[in-house]
Each structure stands twice: as structure tokens, then as C-alpha cells.
Structure 1
Amino acid sequence: MMNHKMALQTGVREIRMIEQDNKWFGSMAFIIALLCYAIFSAPFPAQPGIAEATIGSLLVLFVTIPTGLIVMTGGFTLYQRYRTVPMWLHLGFFMLLWWGLFNGGVIHSWDVTDIVRDIIPCVYLFVPLMLLPAMNRTKYNWLKIFPWVIAFMGVILSMRFYNVANMSPLDVGKMYFFDNYLYLPYDPSVIFAGIFLPLMAIHTWKSSKLYSWVFSLFMLVGGFLALGSLMAVAQRAPLALAALSFSIYFLIISRRSLKRMLLLVIVLLGVGVLAQQQIESSYQLLIDKQESFGANGKTDELAAVIKETSQSSFSLMFGMGWGGLFHDPAVEFVEVSYTHSAMTFFLLKGGIFGVVIFLAYVLWISRNLLRSLSIKTLPIVLSSFMPVIIGLFFQVSYKTLSYGMILTLMCLLYKQQVEKKAVGTTEKLMKHG
């Protein structure tokens, strides 16, 4: 009897070890997929190849095929089990995905290639629905791991940009630089790194520890490499939002820590002195671009989308469906399947129906993020919120894999805050017995 019991316990331990190995393997596959994206792929790959297939396969290993199918084809009880997102959100994604496919593929009979090009960014935007259950299964603290992975992606993409554009960071501000249509600085992880790393360099700095000075220095270098790539292509909205983030942080931290406030001032003054020429010339390039391009045709694009969807009550309510093309005035009236804003994209593809679902999704995430705001989470909140705003209103960055990763990080932040409150409430109840 005793031998039987010991054998059973040994078997249970072995099963647990195998499960832990599988969780570790899946988690590593996920991180490697994101690093492969930063090293070998691009935000908008024109012709997906081996790199993109490898990234997709590694992501599937982490999410698992059953979970992905459950999310995309129903199985709403998954979220009751993992307590990740509300049921209405999963239902909204389910209806948006499949009704858009029916509308575009059956009613309008758009080209299959164009349909796939629209479905992929839709899945990217709602990827937290698939990643959150997978992250829950691993039991790792992804909120500590994930921001650094995204920031590292941004730094890698920035360094790739310098290499492709055949320039050094010291050349920033001399002219507009071009990366042969790879659009590497336009990836949301770049602006995330440009905000997150400098803020964390200040936020985690400890004056009495040498390693803290070293790590803060590395973070500042990485952040400025990312910001430099944005300056090199004269990214107006991201740079303006980055400056706003630093200002907000300065105002808040000045009331909390005099040391950190002084360090921030010293860093800004040091950057101003060392990179004065680059900053002045970059600012002039931004002014010139603003005078030349203004809103870059985005207001005309919005008018064109409204005109396209207002042709009938059906198109106004449900849009063109996945795969629909229109002549975009923002790109000289070339027929394209995208717009320069997530809001106009969902208006074009899903009409009022699509915009309402997507807007409810974004508002739910934004509300939760603001509820999670504290001095400790401030760097993550600021560095996450700004890239999301860029994709919502200014750029096509909402179609990238990184955009979905940042949305996932925002969901993780709220989830951990809720869990901490639940634990605190339980401890209080137990204490008062």
C-alpha cells in the first residue's frame, strides 16, 4: 500500500514537472517570436516569408491551437474560467470578425488576399483575448517581463533603422532619412521604448547603488536611440506625445521625490547640451514638415471614408466588410485597403456596428488603465497609452503585431491591480475573522 502511494506521488510530481516544462517552453517561444519580429521582420511586411511564418508558429505554440480556435469560433466559457475579459467583449470580437468576413467575402465578394490583409490586423488588435488566457496558464509575472521585452523590441528596430538608413545617431537632424519602405521607426514598440526606458531610468534609480547608475545609463541610451529614430523620420505626433509624457512624469515626480526630480533635470540639461545641434535641427525639420504636410490628408481621408460608407443604409451600418478597397486621398487617391487611423478603419470595414464594438473595447481598456494608475505604474501607463493614441488617430501602426502586444500589457496591468485588491480584501477578512 505504501509503495503504491509513493508511486502515485512520484507520478504526480513527474506530471507537474512536464507541465512546468511545457509552460516554460511555450513562454520562451512567445518571447523568441517577438524578438524574431524585431530582428527579421517589419511592421508592414509587403511579402510575408519564412520569418513571418516562424513568428506565427512560435505564437501558436504559446497560445495553443485549441485556445485560438475557442476564442475565434466561440467557447465563451473560456473567459469565465480565466477571468480575463468580460463576456460582451469576447462576443463583440466574435461578431465583428465573422460578420466582417461574411460581409466582405460573401456579400461583396472582395479578393481573398485583401480579406486576409484585413483579418490579420483585426486579430492583432484583439490579441489580448488570446494571450491573456495563455499567460494565466504559465503563472509567470508577465507584468514584470513583458514591458522590457517590448522595449527591447523597440531598441532593436531603432538600431535596424540606423543600419538600413546608413546613418549614425549623430546624423539625426541633418535631413529626412529613409529605410526603403520598411517603416521600422513607425512600429509602436519604438515610441514605447522611447518613453518607457528614460522614465524607468529615473524611476528605478537608486543613488547609493552602483549597478543602479549603470542600468539607468543603459536605459537612457536605449531610450534615446528610439527617440533618435523617430526624429530621423520627423515623426511629429509620437515625439509630441513623448514630450507630453516626460512633462507629466516631471510634474508628478516633483511632488514625490526631490532626488529623482533633480536627476531628471540633470539628464534633460545634459541631453540639451550634448545634443543641442541635433535637437535644434530636428525641431526645424518637424516645423518644415508641419508647414508642408499639415494633417497629411487625414481629414480628407475621414471625409472619403464617410462618403464611402454613406452610400447606403447597409454600408453605413456595416461598412464594406473585410477586404474592401477605397480611393484614399491621403495617398494620392490610390486604391488601398487601409486608413491612417484605427477609428476610420473600423468605420470603413464595419460601419457604425464595427466602430461601436471597437470603441467600447478601447474605452474598456483605457478605463481600466486609468484605474490602475499609481506612482509605481506611471512609466508603464504613459509609455503604453501614447502608442495606442498614435494608432487610434494618426498612423497605420494599429495594424502591427506590437500594437496588440501593448494592448495586452495594458490589460495585464489592470488584471494585476485587481488581483492585489482581491488578496488585500481576503487578508482583511481573515484578520477580522
Structure 2
Amino acid sequence: MDTTILKAENISKQYRLGVVGSGTLRDDFKRLVARVRGKEDPFLKVGDVNDRSKTSSEDYVWALRDINFEVRRGEVLGIIGKNGAGKSTLLKILSRVTAPTTGTIKSRGRIASLLEVGTGFNPELTGRENIYLNGAILGMTKAEITSKLDEIIAFSGCERYIDTPTKRYSSGMTVRLAFAVAAHLEPEILVVDEVLAVGDAEFQKKAIGKMQDISSGEGRTVLFVSHNMASVQNLCTRGILLENGTVTIDDKVNRVIEKYMQAAQHGASEELIKGIDSTERTGSMVMQIKNVELVTEKVGRFPATGSPLTFKFELDNPQHISIKDLRLDFRVDDYMGQRLLWFSTSIFENEDKRQAYYISFHLNKLPLNSGQYFVTTHLSVKNEIADWAKNAFHFNVEEGFFYHSFKKVATSQSKVLTDFELLFND
């Protein structure tokens, strides 16, 4: 028996940059004539691949190119890739929000999609009214929605505000209610984009548990897009990696995640002085982190497990901000995006007017296994964000020993000592 519930065949999507249509009446007429005659669009043979890092003179771009895959009933498929790889475009095509330029989508049963916060919600309607509206959009009858109404409201956690217009909801409350509707109205295929990242940790855990129940307990299919590799690994059994609008690997989820992380690390500098170059960087920028130097026990060597390591942050302080107004936090994540270490400091010496240009954090013994780690930095001035950079830089850790003598394991407790130092402009 064929258990395939969704099949994508040669899916491609082309966009014109800058304007809608072909740009001229003549070109639009050519497209119309070709469509009426049942011929191929004459503009499909032009266009660049969807690579944001490169400039091009082409007016057309392929957001997706020749995508082929099948999804079986009860399977949880993770779709991953960097920003602009084509993930959201693919989900919009699968959800029939937009049509593919070429190719076909074959599916069995209803598809419920959660692509953006509040998709299908009317902000002037109450939460209860939006449940009925969204359910109707998904193809449910009023009786079906009413039978599930109490479960939806309870799962969303918005009972107190269910008769309040959703324009007064926070983004987190909106996504709670939207996910509750999509998950409880029993679609054969549930499509979920990155929107769950808006919710808090408690709701994310609840939502992932619900998707696991939907797939394993009810035998329904889930397509899941996320940049959180830990969630993808825990939820999905299979993965697809998109790069510049094409599928580079379709395999077991662990292999796909490994390939994704290798691609993210490709071309990265292995030097111990790291420049801050994050695409997700926000703040007032009244003060910035210029770069970070990793000072190790042996000059020029990567840090090793159990060895001393110093993070030396160099600051750009053009406004000569006093150290008493400064706070620096940074966290260390593994390749799955799970937080392992967190460092935080602020200065309480109210009378000190000196300006800090370097901040150093020293670990007597590095408590990390061999592997690669990513650092997110958060610099604030007077409790306002000055420079927040997600995955600002990464570093490698070599294999080593946390305990230099095995005899000490039974008699001593594991303790990581951290020193903090400010270098001033005298």
C-alpha cells in the first residue's frame, strides 16, 4: 500500500526583482500568449540562483529550482537551511498560498499551515471569533470547530483573553492561539514555520509535544522549519537541507544537521582573534564589540578541555562611556543551539569615570568537550541594548583532560573558577 501523502515534483519558483510583472506590457503580453497556447513561460530560461551573498545584473531570480521529494504518512520532515535558502517559499507553495512557476504538488487530505504570526487572523475580531474564522479557512465546518473549541482555548492558555480582540494580543499570545487552532483541527498535514520561536520556552515544549503526538499517535504528517537544531533533532525523523533554492541533501535528520553545520562553518576563520560579523546584530551601537581574542595556555594553539582560556573583548567606545554604565553578557552554545555557558558582569563603582576599552573573562579550566562552539554577545549601556550579536563568532576546542590527575577525581569536586578583568584607558 502506498503511504505517500505529499509529493513535490520539479518544483521551481521564479521572482522578478524590484517590480511586479515583467516590467513592460510587451513582456506581459508574451507571457499571456504562451500561457493560452499551453507553452512554457518565455522568461523561465533566464534568472540567477538565489544567492544573497552575490551581486548580479539579472532581473529574475530562482527562489526554488527543481525541488523533488516525497513525504509518507506519519512522517515528521525537518526543512532546514540558512536565511534566504527558500524554506518559507517552499512551505507557501506546499500550503497553496502561492503557486509554483513550474512543477506540481500532489497531496492527500487537508493541509493546515502556520507560516507567520497571526496568519488568517482578523485583528478586529476576538480570539473566539478568529478560531471559527481560521477553522473555516482550513476547511472545517462550524460543528467540527465547536466540538474542539474548549480544547483549543485550553491549549493556547488564552482563556482570560479569548473574548478580547486579537489586536490587543502580544505576538506570543497570537502564535499560541494560531498554533492551537492548526494543531487541533485534525489536518492530515501540518506545516509549521519558524513562528514557534516567538513563544516562550514552556509553550515551545508543549507545541513540540503536540506535534509528536500528532505524528506518532494520530499518524499525521508534520513539515517543520526551524533554526533551532535541537528542536529539529528531537522532533524530526528525516530532514531536507536547502541551499540557494535547491535540495543539497535528503537523509536522516542527524546527517542533514551535520551537513548544515559543516556548510555554516565553511570558510570561517580559524584564527584566535575573531571579528564580530553577525547577520543578526542589533542595538543603538553607541558602543560596539570590535573583536575578540582567545588567549590560550600555548600561544597559537586552540583552547583545550581543562586548560586555561581567556576571552578578551575589544570595545569601540567613541563616546567615552564610563564603565559604571556598562554591562557585558555572552553565552556559549553548542552546534545544536543549546546553551552551555553564560557569563555576565556589570560595574557597580559609581565614582569611577574611566572608559573601558577591553574586557577579559578568564577561565582557569575550560569545561567544554572537544568540538565547535558558538558565542552570542550582549553589550548594554544604561540598561539599553548597545550591541547584540547572535552567533557573533565561533571557536574550536581541542581534546584535553579536565582532571590532570585521575587520582583527584574521587577526592575533589569539579569547580570552574572564573576571573573578570577590565583594562582601562588611563
TM-score range, shorter chain: under 0.3
TM-score, length-scaled by structure 1: 0.24
State the structure with bigger RCO (CA 8 A, min sep 6), 1 or 2.
Answer: 1
Flag the structure with higher strand content: 2
Flag the structure with higher helix content: 1
TM-score, length-scaled by structure 2: 0.25
User: Higher Cα Rg: structure 1 or 2?
Assistant: 2
